[in-house]
Amino acid sequence: MARNSPAPRSAKSRAGIRPLPGRARSENGNAHSDLMNGEIGLDALAGHAGYAVRRFQIWVFQDFIRTLGAVDIRPTQYSVMTVIGANPGLSQMAVAKRLGIERARLVHLLDSLEQRDLVSRVKSAADRRSHALHLTARGRTALAQFKRLAAEHERHVAEKLGKENRKKLLQILSDFT
Amino acid sequence: MARNSPAPRSAKSRAGIRPLPGRARSENGNAHSDLMNGEIGLDALAGHAGYAVRRFQIWVFQDFIRTLGAVDIRPTQYSVMTVIGANPGLSQMAVAKRLGIERARLVHLLDSLEQRDLVSRVKSAADRRSHALHLTARGRTALAQFKRLAAEHERHVAEKLGKENRKKLLQILSDFT
DNA sequence: TATTGTTATACTCTATAACTATA
DNA sequence: TATAGTTATAGAGTATAACAATA
């Protein structure tokens, strides 16, 4: 892809990815075109969990994409492979429902994973409408590597939030997984 | 709460918005096409803050869209109007940077808000390249209503997470706003 | 030369609808 | 009839590039 940092991985070389604004603005000396005082208030937005969560999620996904850029795997692809790896033989509907992905979209996700020989669709004998999903041999090897990189990404999250905060966050959101 | 608590008001009978799966599966008795035991493990996904955050963010945004459905305002539109309302005269670049929105995308967002007579672009005298953004009179009135509905949405979030958890979440993510 | 707003393109993601082949 | 997988479409949202007016 070249776009999203083939990067030496750690580095955080922010390839094409914009750093979060707001905080960053105070680093350079310009405040003329913004406001006289240089700070733009969020008003009611500051009290909305959804706003903070959206901004955080963008940061996390960008770090994930960057950290797994060398293997060209995005968060959704990783989640699909992980669930199939842990539950071989699942149908597409089962995976879609479990991960909250539209079944129509899962079709394309699987097309691309299948083309890369990471996942295979096996005609189910029991119900010939459905496909049993499995990782290929190559997929299993690849997933192991993806998991190592994803663990590295997770360390970035822990660095950013603090170990205890990350733990607390996972606990607070445990109902949504 | 009936799953996603669309709440009494707004009607907005979940217009097409799927309830979160996963938890829901155990309510109906079918587990044949999933797995024998009926539970699909997340494996490594369970340890990723990004996964939980993504699922949560989807829930929050769906509730926001539902709760403000009667006034047809989406989260990004609300964030733009709120920031302009609290900082009248900002340029498009300033708003885009503050909220992490691409300036190219903000153009279209403002087009639609301007067509609805909620926001106006005023040629800046100081720098004639830029526009000073303001709410219209109608926009100010409307924003007050949007804020009341958004506060109601935020109460849904508090119900879902628990008051203390919501507070802790906002605190943990305060760096990202 | 650099920046603001704009237009355009492309790709991801979400939300639907409809089709097919099975059940 | 209903369901699993598929195809198609439309609208957000993200990421870029390029252009005109202005600095």
In this structure, the dihedral spanned by the alpha carbons of residues A115, A121, A123 and A125, taken in order and rounded to 10 degrees, is: 160
Mean pLDDT of B54-65: 95
Computed over every residue of chain A, the mean pLDDT equals 83
Show residues, CB within 7 A, near nucleic chain C. Answer: A 33, 74-76, 101-102, 104-105, 127-129; B 15-18, 58, 62, 91-93, 96, 103-104, 107-108, 110-111, 121, 127, 129-131
> Of all residues in chain A, what percent carry a pLDDT higher than 90?
77
The β-bridge relationship of strands B131-135 and B119-123 is antiparallel
**pLDDT greater than 80 at residue B9:** no
- A44 with A122: CB under 8 angstroms? no
Mean pLDDT of B148-165: 97
pLDDT at A177: 87
Among A159, A8, A45, A110, residue whose Cα is nearest residue B101: A45
Q: DSSP 3-state assignment of B49?
A: helix
Kindly list the structural domains of chain B, giving each domain's residue range(s) and its CATH number in brackets, ordered by start. Answer: 50-175 (1.10.10.10)
Mean pLDDT of B89-108: 96
Q: Closest partner residue to B60 among A50, A61, A160, by Cβ?
A: A50
- A135 with A113: CB under 8 angstroms? no
Cβ contacts of B59 on chain A, cutoff 8 Å? 176
Residue B144 touches partner A, C-beta closer than 8 Å: no
Cβ contacts of B94 on chain A, cutoff 8 Å? 33-35, 40
DSSP conformation class of A6: -
pLDDT at B20: 34
B9 touches strand D (CB under 7 A): no
* Lowest model confidence (mean pLDDT) among A12-21, A140-149, A157-166, B129-138: A12-21
- A93 with B33: CB under 8 angstroms? yes
pLDDT in tens, A9-60: 232 332 333 333 333 333 333 333 333 445 899 999 999 999 999 999 999 9
Between the CA of residue A108 and those of A83, A111, A114, B136, B167, what are the distances in Å? 17, 5, 10, 44, 39
pLDDT at A175: 93
pLDDT in tens, B38-51: 589 999 999 999 99
pLDDT at B177: 87
**pLDDT greater than 90 at residue A99:** yes
pLDDT at B38: 57
**pLDDT greater than 90 at residue A84:** yes
Computed over every residue of chain B, the mean pLDDT equals 83
Among B128, B139, B124, residue whose Cα is nearest residue B86: B139
**pLDDT greater than 70 at residue B160:** yes
pLDDT in tens, B168-177: 999 999 999 8
**pLDDT greater than 70 at residue B5:** no
